[in-house]
């Protein structure tokens, strides 16, 4: 709520005082009229009779005057106040446009004077690092994979869905609706898994589970599960392939967005840091990191063996 200015308060008080005086005079005049009227009919040729007739004649004419002032105060005052507030707001906006840039410039100058060279260098380095990260195509870094976001991206995809992983398909039933949406949109769905019979798969199993056979049994279950989902949902857009080389990255590509994970020793890729990357920038040109991710998937896909479903 806006507070009234001192000048506005004094003007408002002055108007109220005038209105009070007018009503006071009108009240006194009304009492005089009542007294004179109570005297009854007086000879009009006498001086008091002439005064009585004069007062009675003008009373009806001045009766409306104080009520006119009251009407104006009650109804026109709010309108005038609104106009005044609008004018004040316009004035404040103009003052802000004129003075704020100069104040900001002075503030920046003072801050630069107060900041020592070490702090300025640190801030400059942070800005440069942030800019270089964006130029590489990196848009976010997250502590682990978010399956909910991944399902939404797959369901919204219009051009392609590429997946390269080893253990994701323990959760394949959670992706059925997203895969079905990709089939409805006729989006190519490529799934690239590590061949469970390869030496690399056995070594990865040892690294993760200190024993052989776990990854093999898991992948066999994945093949059966994928085949069942493929037939039940009629996923004609789905292709499955096996590769037998140690993967460098866990890769999920949905249209122009990629999420990658890392295969650290003794840890599942889903629980380690995930990096989100744009394949191409706003100009339609490859980002450095995005180009490497796409090339990595394409290379492994072309060398992989198709798996019939």
In this model, does residue 3 exceed pLDDT 50? no
In this model, does residue 114 exceed pLDDT 70? no
Helix axes 199-209, 214-233, angle to 10 degrees: 110
In this model, does residue 217 exceed pLDDT 60? no
The mean pLDDT value for 29-36 works out to: 66
Q: What percentage of the chain reaches a pLDDT higher than 70?
A: 61
Contacts of 167 (CB under 8 A, 6+ apart): 215, 218, 268, 269, 270
| pTM above threshold 0.85 | no
In this model, does residue 82 exceed pLDDT 90? no
Contacts of 294 (CB under 8 A, 6+ apart): 253, 258, 279, 286
In this model, does residue 289 exceed pLDDT 80? yes
Alpha-carbon distance of 83 to 137, in angstroms, equals: 53
In this model, does residue 94 exceed pLDDT 90? no
Phi-psi region of 266 (alpha: psi -120 to 50; beta: other; left: phi over 0): left
Alpha-carbon distance of 59 to 54, in angstroms, equals: 9
pLDDT tens profile 133-151: 888 899 998 998 888 999 9
In this model, does residue 6 exceed pLDDT 60? no
Least reliable range by pLDDT among 21-25, 119-123, 226-230:
119-123
CA dihedral (203, 215, 201, 140) positive or negative: negative
Residue 280's beta-bridge partner residues?
286
| Mean pLDDT estimate for the chain | 77
- List the one residue out of 214, 172, 167, 177 whose CA is nearest residue 309: 172
Residue with tokens 């976001």, as numbered in its chain: 149
pLDDT tens profile 150-182: 999 999 999 999 999 876 556 778 899 999 999
The mean pLDDT value for 29-56 works out to: 64
Q: Using alpha carbons, list the distances in angstroms from residue 95 to 8, 211, 267.
A: 21, 75, 61
So what's the pLDDT on residue 2?
Answer: 45
In sequence order, what DSSP letters do the residues of 185-216 get, joined into one string?
TT--EEEEEE-TTSHHHHHHHHHHHSSSSHHH
5 phi/psi in degrees, rounded to 5 = -75, 155
């Amino acid at each position: 709520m806006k507070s009234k200015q001192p000048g506005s308060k004094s003007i408002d008080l002055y108007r109220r005082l005038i209105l009070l005086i007018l009503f006071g005079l009108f009240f006194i005049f009304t009492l005089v009229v009542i007294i004179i009227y109570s005297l009854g009919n007086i000879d009009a040729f006498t001086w008091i009779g002439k005064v009585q007739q004069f007062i009675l004649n003008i009373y009806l004419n001045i009766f409306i005057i104080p009520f006119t002032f009251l009407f104006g105060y009650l109804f026109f005052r709010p309108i005038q106040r609104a106009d005044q507030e609008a004018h004040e707001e316009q004035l404040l906006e103009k003052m802000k446009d004129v003075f704020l840039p100069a104040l900001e410039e002075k503030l920046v100058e003072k801050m630069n004077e107060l900041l020592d060279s070490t702090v300025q260098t640190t801030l400059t380095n942070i800005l440069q690092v942030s800019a270089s990260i964006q130029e590489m195509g990196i848009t976010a870094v997250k502590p682990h994979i978010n399956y909910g976001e991944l399902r939404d991206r797959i369901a919204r995809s219009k051009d392609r869905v590429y997946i390269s992983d080893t253990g994701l398909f323990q959760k394949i039933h959670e992706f059925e609706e997203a895969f079905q949406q990709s089939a409805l949109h006729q989006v190519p769905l490529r799934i690239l898994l590590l061949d469970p019979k390869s030496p690399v798969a056995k070594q990865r199993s040892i690294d993760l589970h200190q024993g052989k056979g776990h990854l093999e049994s898991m992948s066999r279950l994945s093949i059966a599960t994928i085949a069942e989902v493929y037939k039940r949902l009629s996923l004609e857009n789905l292709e499955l392939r096996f590769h037998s080389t140690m993967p460098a990255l866990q890769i999920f590509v949905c249209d122009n967005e990629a999420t990658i994970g890392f295969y650290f020793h003794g840890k599942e890729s889903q629980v380690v840091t995930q990096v989100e990357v744009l394949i191409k920038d706003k100009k339609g040109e490859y980002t450095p990191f995005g180009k490497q991710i796409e090339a990595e998937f394409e290379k492994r896909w072309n060398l992989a063996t198709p798996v019939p479903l």
